[in-house]
Structure 1
Amino acid sequence: MPLDASRNSLVLPILGFLGERPAHAYDLATRLRGRYAHLSATRSTVTTLLKSLHRDGLVEAREPGQVGNRPPRTEYELTGPGIACFRAKVESGLRDTPVASVDFALAVAYLGSLPADRAVALLSARAERLAGEQAALPDGSVAMTELDTLEHAYWHGLVAAELAWIATLLTRIRSAELAWAA
């Protein structure tokens, strides 16, 4: 985990889940594993992140509650600053993350939390940035064989695929084909 816990990729979905409803660490870890199987989300990591988010004022802890014979569990809920942090993380993830990154995929998961026009603006800016990055990618060297420069084709393919996906998504948002919450 990064020294600055707010930079951990799990923070965005934790804040997103807490925006849906208050939850305790075990519930959050279970939901994270269920929705984001590609992420390592242990209960201890989630607990550590929740304590850090609490210390930073982004989540508020409720008095531990007990259900049945289970041990008491502290539930957490988002604060005003936590909501602002969540939105900033979604925007940053859409705008600033590298191509094909986990942080971009997590931001896309919460795209619907933004107004449609803001989502369009952020995705358009990302597409413009990626097109510039794609233009700057080397094609390989004439002195080298294709086999020696396969990574260039790989990166071109990744950027092209993401640009195509973003273009399709933008078309769907602009045409209202993709249902957007009010």
Structure 2
Amino acid sequence: MPLDASRNSLVLPMLGLLVEQPAHAYDLTRRLRERYGAAVATRSTVTSLLKALDRAGLLSARPPERSGNRPPRTTYELTDTGVAEFRQRVETGLRDTPVASTDFVMAVAYLAILPADQAGSVLDDRADRLDRELAELRAQPDGVPEAHMLEVAYWRTVVAAEVAWIRTLARRIRSHDIDWPGSAPTS
């Protein structure tokens, strides 16, 4: 785990799950594993991250409660600062992460935390940045056989596919084709 726990890749999905409902470490670990099978989430890591996020003021711990014969469990919920940090992390993950990265996928998972207009704008910014990256990938160096540049052709396809998907998603959000939380279609 990084020395700065807030940089751990599990923080964004943890905050996202806590937006949905407060949870204790065991429950949060289970939900992370169920929803994000590829995420390596141990209870000890989740517990450490929860404590670090609590110390940072992003979470607030409820007094421990006992359920049946189980040991007492501390339930955590997001503070207003935690919700603001979560929104910022989603926006940053959408705008600045590398193409086809897990960090981008995690940010997309929680895109609906942003207002529809902001979500569309952030997606447009990402697509514009990727268009510039794609333009730089288009030139094949003189004298280099195509067989030695297959990875560039592959990467151009991946970047182009992500740009197309992002532009379609932004259009669908703006046209209210996707039922967006907190917004109603205008008549």
| Equivalent position of 1:67 in the other structure | 67
Distance 2:83 2:145 in 1: 51
Q: What CA distance in whole angstroms lies between the structure 2 residues aligned with 1:151 and 1:139?
A: 13
Say if 1:65 and 1:72, in contact at 8 Å, map to a contact too: yes
Aligned to 2:12: 12
1:153 is displaced (CA, Å) by 1.2
Counterpart AA for 1:99? V
Residue deviations 1:60-111, cap 9 Å, x none? 1111111111111111111111111101001101111111111111111111
TM-score by length of 1: 0.95
Instruction: Tell me the residue number matched to 2:84.
Output: 84
Residue type at the aligned position of 1:78 = L
**What SS is found at the alignment partner of 1:52?**
helix
Distance 1:174 1:140, change over 3 A: same
Q: Helix, strand or coil: the match of 1:77?
A: strand
Equivalent residue number for residue 161 of structure 1: 161
> So what's the TM-score if we normalise by structure 2?
0.93
The CA deviation at 1:145 is 2.7
Gaps of 5+ in 2: 183-187
Secondary structure of 2:60's counterpart equals strand
Whether 2:63 is the aligned partner of 1:56: answer no
Q: How does 1:1-182 map to 2 (within 5 A)?
A: 1-137=1-137, 139-182=139-182
Aligned equivalents of 1:58, 1:170: Cα separation in 2: 29
Q: Where in structure 1 are there 5+ consecutive unaligned residues?
A: none
Cα contact 2:130–2:163 (8 A) shared by 1: yes
> What per-residue deviation string (whole Å, max 9, x for no partner) do you get for residues 26-59 of structure 1?
1011101111111111111111111111111111
Deviations 1:129-172 (A, max 9, x none): 11011111254434333232221112111110100111111121
* Alpha-carbon RMSD: 1.2
Counting matched residue pairs gives: 182
Amino acid at match of 1:149: M
Asked if structure 1 preserves the Cα contact closer than 8 Å seen for 2:94 and 2:108, the reply is yes
Work out the percentage of aligned pairs sharing the same amino acid.
Answer: 62
Moved over 4 A (4+): none
For 1:76, what is the secondary structure of its paired residue?
strand
Q: Which moved more, 1:146-155 or 1:39-48?
A: 146-155
